[in-house]
Homo-oligomer: A and B are copies of this chain.
């Protein structure tokens, strides 16, 4: 294996949780070295954080534009190869675009952009750049999610005729029920948070999980949102009817007011021959059920799993790996792509997932606002 890939990080400083997740993920498989960063818009905090995590400060820049400008002055063999974009949502698009335009590989947090229009512009920029672009729908990095994808691809379920996915959380409860908080928090302010809260933040994970695992495209949707209070302008709960073909239907359910739920992402996929069920909070157990035989419980690391799944497990069966390991699997796939090595297209979500996601988010808003009508995805 060649030398470590030179990684730059934008955002993710201080107490940022997403920062920890990406940083650890980059370390896990010995593939990356952080060589440059703008961890924080405040330069002093930026430098302090770099010192705290023991990153050399000579390439800690005062802002994103400076990072680009200075790195481009370095010879290619020293320059940052790939940048992880962990900034607030509205910055994903301009930063990712500029990175692509300047020949950098990009690992981008979701949502990829705040509008479908931006997403398409980014897609165009990516086509021109020819670099690697990965979108961190982290959950696709779990070994048993990969196993679902491969089992379905191999035909183990037969023709799929129904899909049911959900992402339930209760975290917004303390905010939404308090009139003052719900009027002030940026998450519920459409000017700051974009067009959707619940679908945009978590519903889109369920959407992505459906398309990632089944290999099917959702063709059209009908959504119903719940704002919970008249003075609240953002969806905090939404149910979406989905159609993936003439007789292939399903539902995506998402909520931020599902009291007591944590990261309740789950999916059930029903085919002619069998079905699969998986839950994010018990990520190492995959259930295959059928009308005839006993339920089968698949676990990571066993030889009976697919190559794609096994590639995402570092230890023998029975040693639980978790969300950091899932993200590390995505980083591993990106490393292979950057190095030009072979990799499976299930190793990391791509530009296409990002465009699809924005298309979905905008469609659900349009459907709800249009009076719960069917909207086609592009």
Contacts and interface: CB of A to CB of B under 8 A. Distances in A.
A275 B173 CA distance: 12
A285 to B, nearest CB: 9
Nearest to A54: B4
Contact of A289 (B17, B249, B259, B304): B259
Interface string A280-302: 11111000111111111111001
Tier of interface size on chain A: 35 or more
A260 interface: yes
B227 A1 contact: no
A234 to B, nearest CB: 13
A375 to B, nearest CB: 12
A164 interface: yes
A303 B290 CA distance: 13
Interface string A223-259: 0101111000000010101000001011101010111
Contacts of A207: none
Contact of A17 (B20, B297, B304, B316): B316
How many copies of this protein are present in the complex?
4
Contact of A260 (B3, B27, B166, B295): B295
B315 A20 contact: yes
B315 A304 contact: no
Given A28-B324, A164-B253, A291-B259, A222 B315 contact: no
A372 B293 CA distance: 36
Main secondary structure on chain A at its contact with chain B?
loop
A294 B291 contact: no
A44 B316 CA distance: 27
Contact of A298 (B170, B271, B294): B294
Interface of A: 1, 3-4, 17, 20-21, 23-24, 27-28, 30, 33, 52-54, 157, 161-162, 164, 166, 168-171, 173-174, 177, 222, 224, 226-229, 237, 239, 241, 247, 249-251, 253, 255, 257-264, 268, 270-275, 280-284, 288-299, 302-304, 314-325, 372, 374
Given A171-B316, A226-B249, A297-B297, 16 more contacts: A30-B54, A164-B253, A170-B291, A173-B291, A222-B222, A255-B270, A257-B270, A259-B272, A259-B273, A260-B275, A260-B288, A260-B295, A264-B318, A283-B320, A294-B304, A324-B324
28 contacts: A24-B28, A161-B228, A161-B237, A161-B257, A162-B255, A162-B257, A171-B291, A177-B272, A224-B249, A226-B249, A251-B253, A257-B270, A259-B275, A259-B290, A260-B274, A260-B288, A261-B270, A261-B275, A262-B316, A263-B319, A281-B284, A293-B304, A294-B297, A294-B298, A296-B297, A319-B322, A324-B325, A372-B372
